[in-house]
Structure formats: structure tokens, C-alpha cells
């Protein structure tokens, strides 16, 4: 059997992904690098190096899974977020680049060196652990309802060596009912309308509905967090919520209804409305 070199393997897989993926070449590259266990730069210097028989067998298995629609991140078991490697699995959402808008906004607030921050629906821990990596003195608590997601977030916490972040299981504010008030509350909660046709397309087919959908056309969890969050925020504390590109007006109205001030929507890197922020008076 003749074994392909790296460039040939990528070309072959890209062609197979052509119809099923928006990024066929990138998917092929990420899967190949996963199999050979090398960094991205390796592809530039060593593209004519041949795969071993074992690597070729493993790569073909990865390609077959991707062709069936499985997300690349589930095949490799990891996803980069805020330039950090996060383990991912089917217990929660694969972190999205859009969510880096939350991290960027919070870091840009110019908060003091020691604040208390709460991340609701932490999933992999993407937001909480990224913030902790930038601000080691912040007192950060992260909560998720899913026990499996909590285990995953703790695995990421361990791998990223951020032991001071508190990761708790429970529903929204329940685990911090008796905790001191927070300076910042962030959340990327489930916000997709349960009848949204996109739920049957792409990566989301492989992600749990518990991380994706919310009743009331996708607004129930966002409304719950806004309505109840004020009692967990200090006066002058800030809430930062991710939401769908077409949900900003409703979220702004919720914030106004529950007497928050300085209500502002910010776009993500793709130019879509992505987060709305507000202050407790």
C-alpha cells in the first residue's frame, strides 16, 4: 500500500469534506495534526513527509467521522478558546469564537485587581478559566447544572492549572445563594428557540439540547438571569450576557424592566449583536 504524504492526505480529505463542511481544508489540517501529534507549523516544513500506516488508518477513521457530520472538536477532543486548549465532550457546548467577545469585554472594563465574578452555565469553563488565566487575583465562581459539564470544567481547570476558580454544580444562582455579592456576572446561557431549524444542521446536532435551547422562544434563561441577578450583584456591578444575533432588543427591554442602567449591546468579531451588558444602580 502506498502511503500519502501530509499534503496529499490533506488534499484527499478536503475533497471528501467539500460538500459537508464550510471549512474543508482547515478541518482536514486540524484532524491530520491531531493524528500526527504536531503543531500547525509542521505542515509548512514537512508537507512531503509520508504518514505511517498507523497514522493513515487513524486519519481515515477521523475523516469518516467528520464526513458523518461529527464536529472536528469532538473528534480531536479539544478546542482552542482565548488561545487556550480546552477539552470538550458531548456534555456541553463546544466553545465558540463569538464568546470571546464576553472575555474581551470584561477584561476591558478596567476592574480592580481583586473582584468577585460569577460565570453561569460555565460548560467547559471557557469564560471563567480564560478570565482566570488573565486575572489570577480575581475571585471567580463558575456554575453549571450538568454534572458531566462540571467534571469537564474541572478537568480543564486542572490542565490549565487554575486551581483557585470555584466550580460548582447547581441551577443558576442556587449554589451562591448565601455567598457575598459579585462585582461581575457573566453568562452564555442556552438561548436558541426550540423550534429553530438550525438545530438540525451542522455541529449543534452533536451538542446537548440542555446547552442550546430555552423555552419562551429561547429567552427563558436570559430573562431568569436578568430578573434574579440584581440581588447577587453589588451596586455598580455589571452583568454581561451573550445572546443570539437577533435577540438584543428583547434583552435590552428585560434589563430596563428590571431597573438596570447603562444598557449596551456589543457586536462580535463577525459584526453581529452578541452581548448585552448592564449595570445594577
Ligand X SMILES: C[S@@+](CC[C@H](N)C(=O)[O-])C[C@H]1O[C@@H](n2cnc3c(N)ncnc32)[C@H](O)[C@@H]1O
Q: Which residues bind ligand X (CB under 6 A)?
A: 92-93, 95, 99, 120-124, 126-127, 143-146, 149, 171-172, 188-190, 210-211
Residues 6+ apart with CB under 8 A from 118: 140, 141, 142, 143, 176, 182, 184, 185, 186, 232
Closer residue to ligand X, CB minimum distance, 105 or 172: 172
Closer residue to ligand X, CB minimum distance, 92 or 141: 92
CB of 127 to ligand X, least distance (A): 5
Whole-number Å distance between alpha carbons of 55 and 36: 7
Closer residue to ligand X, CB minimum distance, 56 or 145: 145
CB of 66 to ligand X, least distance (A): 21
User: Cell for 98?
Assistant: 463569538
Closer residue to ligand X, CB minimum distance, 21 or 91: 91
CB of 108 to ligand X, least distance (A): 18
Closer residue to ligand X, CB minimum distance, 13 or 250: 250
Scored b (16 or more CB within 10 A) or e, 136-155 reads: eebbbbbbbbbeebbebbee
Contact 251, 280 (CB under 8 A): no
Strands 84-87 and 78-81: antiparallel
C-alpha distances in angstroms, 151 versus 70, 145, 191, 260?
A: 22, 11, 23, 34
CB of 70 to ligand X, least distance (A): 18
3-state secondary structure of 22: coil
Strands 182-187 and 233-242: parallel
CB of 267 to ligand X, least distance (A): 17
CB of 152 to ligand X, least distance (A): 9
| Alpha-carbon dihedral 101, 112, 110, 87, rounded to 10 degrees | -20
Closer residue to ligand X, CB minimum distance, 146 or 247: 146
Amino acid at each position: 500500500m502506498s502511503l500519502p504524504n501530509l499534503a496529499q492526505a490533506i488534499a484527499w480529505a478536503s475533497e471528501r469534506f467539500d460538500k459537508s463542511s464550510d471549512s474543508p481544508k482547515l478541518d482536514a489540517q486540524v484532524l491530520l495534526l491531531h493524528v500526527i501529534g504536531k503543531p500547525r507549523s509542521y505542515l509548512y516544513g514537512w508537507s512531503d513527509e509520508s504518514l505511517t500506516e498507523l497514522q493513515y488508518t487513524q486519519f481515515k477513521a477521523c475523516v469518516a467521522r467528520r464526513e458523518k457530520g461529527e464536529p472536528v472538536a469532538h473528534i480531536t477532543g479539544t478546542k482552542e478558546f482565548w488561545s487556550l486548549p480546552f477539552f470538550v465532550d458531548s456534555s456541553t457546548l463546544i466553545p465558540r469564537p463569538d464568546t470571546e467577545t464576553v472575555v474581551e469585554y470584561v477584561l476591558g472594563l478596567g476592574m480592580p485587581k481583586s473582584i468577585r465574578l460569577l460565570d453561569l452555565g460555565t460548560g467547559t469553563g471557557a469564560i471563567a478559566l480564560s478570565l482566570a488565566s488573565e486575572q489570577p487575583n480575581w475571585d471567580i465562581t463558575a456554575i453549571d447544572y450538568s454534572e458531566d459539564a462540571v467534571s469537564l470544567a474541572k478537568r480543564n481547570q486542572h490542565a490549565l492549572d487554575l486551581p483557585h476558580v470555584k466550580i460548582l454544580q447547581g441551577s443558576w444562582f442556587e449554589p451562591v445563594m448565601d455567598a457575598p455579592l459579585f462585582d461581575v456576572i457573566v453568562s452564555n446561557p442556552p438561548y436558541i428557540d426550540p423550534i429553530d431549524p438550525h438545530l438540525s444542521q451542522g455541529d449543534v446536532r452533536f451538542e446537548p439540547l440542555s446547552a442550546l435551547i430555552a423555552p419562551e422562544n429561547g429567552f427563558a434563561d436570559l430573562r431568569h438571569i436578568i430578573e434574579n441577578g440584581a440581588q447577587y450583584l453589588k451596586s455598580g456591578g455589571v452583568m454581561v450576557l451573550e445572546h443570539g444575533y437577533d435577540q438584543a432588543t428583547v434583552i435590552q427591554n428585560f434589563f430596563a424592566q428590571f431597573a438596570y442602567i447603562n444598557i449596551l449591546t456589543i457586536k462580535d468579531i463577525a459584526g453581529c449583536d452578541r452581548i448585552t451588558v448592564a449595570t445594577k444602580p
